[in-house]
Amino acid sequence: QQPVQSPQAVILREGEDAVINCSSSKALYSVHWYRQKHGEAPVFLMILLKGGEQKGHEKISASFNEKKQQSSLYLTASQLSYSGTYFCGTADSGGTSYGKLTFGQGTILTVHP
């Protein structure tokens, strides 16, 4: 079953912060986050594994609450280059699952000057 992302869209001014949430009905082993620019391929941002870790990538970080089966992506001091569609991808089993992901429907982030 597809994870649910919220919000569906968000509009920011440069320098503002945003949070994108990803929620699953299944027990999760890992959560991936990707950003896709219009007409391009998605680009990997980060992966969070079972264990509740939080990771960072420049001014973008994420958390993973395995008990709630949720992950959140935090974008701080947004830049124009952050604009795009953000997808979470979830893997609902580890071990031999080899990272097969189910993606959310995406969150469109628009950053204005």
How far is residue 28's CA from residue 50's CA, in Å, rounded to a whole number?
7
Query: Could you tell me the smallest distance in angstroms from the CB atom of residue 53 to another protein?
Result: 13
Among 34, 62, 69, 82, binds another protein (CB under 8 A): 34
Residue 83, CA atoms < 13 Å, CB-side half-sphere: 11
Among 46, 55, 61, 76, binds another protein (CB under 8 A): 46
Q: Is 51 in the site for another protein (CB under 8 A)?
A: no
Query: Could you tell me the smallest distance in angstroms from the CB atom of residue 3 to another protein?
Result: 9
Query: Which CB, 16 or 47, lies closer to another protein?
Result: 47
Name the nearest CA neighbour of 89 among 73, 76, 74.
73
The DSSP call for residue 96 is G
Q: Is 110 in the site for another protein (CB under 8 A)?
A: no
Name the nearest CA neighbour of 22 among 79, 76, 68.
68
The DSSP call for residue 89 is E
Q: Return residues touching another protein (CB under 8 A).
A: 2, 29-30, 32, 34, 40-44, 46-47, 49, 87, 89, 91, 94-96, 98-106
